[in-house]
């Protein structure tokens, strides 16, 4: 396994689906200049999604081949689709950029933590049940998919106290400001938000 040095950090955004993890991660990530390590998935792309940007969309056969070659740090199955992060992608991105982020459910967050230890900073993003459901509806998720996401809500919420940082995402601008400032002050020290 690639050993990370002190300046190399992996930010893992986790929390219930629909809480806004991807949205806030992308916004803070672009301000702070940290890049996303993209997962591989067998699920089909949604109409707004771009291959290589949202996910690497691959066939079930390609996924199994990569799995057989031990390419993935972890693999999960959600709703009949498979998801995984490639170890080589994490190593390459870290060597190139120093700090990276991922958006994962609690199992992925836990796996990364056990692999990379104190180099992993888990950031829990959440909102109340009703708000999450409304956002999934507004995002255009089907009623069946929403039901599946909501059936995992409590399980994902139970991971909150294990995470290094927790943000309730109600007002988007507010969340992104607080998050960016916390990451900058605590880890990156780029003083991007120094308002003095
Ligand atoms: N553990 C793990 N979770 C992942 C990975 N990629 C995506 N996820 C999470 O798996 C869940 C299901 O993903 P999906 O239904 O496609 O939702 P999406 O977040 O809107 O793309 C979401 O909570 C994702 O954040 C991965 O490689 N590993
Ligand atoms: N604070 C917020 N207020 C209103 N809508 C939000 C907020 N944060 C995110 N959203 C919207 O909610 C939906 C879910 O956010 P997304 O980032 O896709 O969630 P996740 O990655 O946690 O599944 C998206 O349509 C996003 O634009």
- ipTM surpasses 0.90: yes
Give the residue from 90, 93, 63 showing the smallest Cα distance to 75.
Answer: 63
- Is the CB of 25 within 6 Å of ligand 1? no
Best mutation site among 36, 135, 140, 141 for ligand 2 pocket (most ligand atoms within 8 Å of CB):
135
Whether residue 46 lies inside any domain: the answer is no
Q: How would residue 4 be classed by pLDDT, with cut points 50, 70 and 90?
A: low
- Taking the CA of residue 170 as reference, the ligand 2 atom at the shortest distance is 1
* Interatomic CA distance for residues 33 and 75, integer angstroms: 27
CATH number of the domain bearing residue 148:
3.40.50.300
In a domain, 49, yes or no: no
Q: Whose CA is nearest to atom 4 of ligand 2?
A: 172
Mutate to test the pocket of ligand 2, among 17, 23, 26, 106 (most ligand atoms within 8 A of CB): 23
**Does ligand 1 lie within 6 Å of residue 149's CB atom?**
no
Alpha carbon nearest to ligand 1 atom 15, residue = 78
Once rounded to an integer, what is the mean pLDDT over residues 177-190?
Answer: 93
Distance 20 CA to ligand 2 centre (A): 3
Question: What is the gyration radius of the CA atoms in the chain, in angstroms?
Answer: 16
Task: Let me know if residue 59 belongs to a domain.
Answer: no
Average pLDDT over residues 134-142: 94
Asked if the structure places residue 44 within a domain, the reply is no
**Is residue 117 domain-resident?**
yes
How many separate domains does the chain show?
1
- Residue with the smallest CA separation from ligand 2 atom 27 is 23
Tokens of 102: 């991922």
Give the model confidence (pLDDT) of 57-84 as tens digits: 999 999 999 999 999 999 999 989 999 9
- Total count of residues recorded for the chain: 196
Residues paired with residue 103 on neighbouring β-strands, in sequence order? 13
Q: How far is the CA of 195 from the centre of ligand 1 (A)?
A: 35
Residue 133, C-beta contacts closer than 8 angstroms, at least 6 positions apart: 18, 146, 150
Confirm whether 30 is domain-assigned: yes
* Mean pLDDT along residues 140-158: 95
Of 61, 46, 60, the residue nearest 136 (C-alpha): 46
Average pLDDT, the chain: 93
Phi, psi (degrees; rounded to nearest 5) at 100: -135, 165
| Backbone dihedral angles phi then psi of residue 151, each to the nearest 5 degrees | -70, -15
* Contact (CB, 8 A) for 149 and 18: yes
Identify the domain containing residue 103 by its residue range: 9-38+87-186
């Amino acid at each position: 396994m690639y050993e990370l040095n002190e300046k190399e950090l992996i930010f893992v955004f986790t929390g219930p689906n629909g809480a806004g993890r991807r949205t806030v991660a992308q916004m803070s990530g672009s301000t702070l200049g940290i890049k996303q390590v993209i997962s591989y998935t067998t699920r089909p792309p949604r109409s707004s999604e771009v291959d290589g940007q949202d996910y690497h969309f691959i066939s079930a056969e390609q996924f199994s081949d990569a799995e057989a070659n031990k390419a993935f740090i972890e693999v999960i199955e959600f709703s009949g689709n498979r998801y995984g992060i490639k170890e080589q992608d994490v190593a390459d991105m870290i060597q190139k950029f120093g700090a990276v982020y991922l958006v994962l459910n609690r199992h992925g967050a836990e796996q990364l933590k056990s692999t990379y230890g104190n180099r992993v900073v888990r950031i829990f993003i959440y909102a109340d049940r009703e708000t999450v459901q409304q956002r999934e509806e507004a995002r255009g998720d089907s009623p069946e998919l929403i039901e599946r996401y909501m059936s995992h809500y409590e399980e994902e919420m139970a991971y909150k106290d294990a995470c290094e940082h927790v943000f309730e995402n109600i007002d988007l601008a507010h969340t992104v400001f607080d998050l960016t400032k916390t990451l900058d002050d605590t880890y990156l020290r780029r003083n991007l938000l120094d308002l003095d």
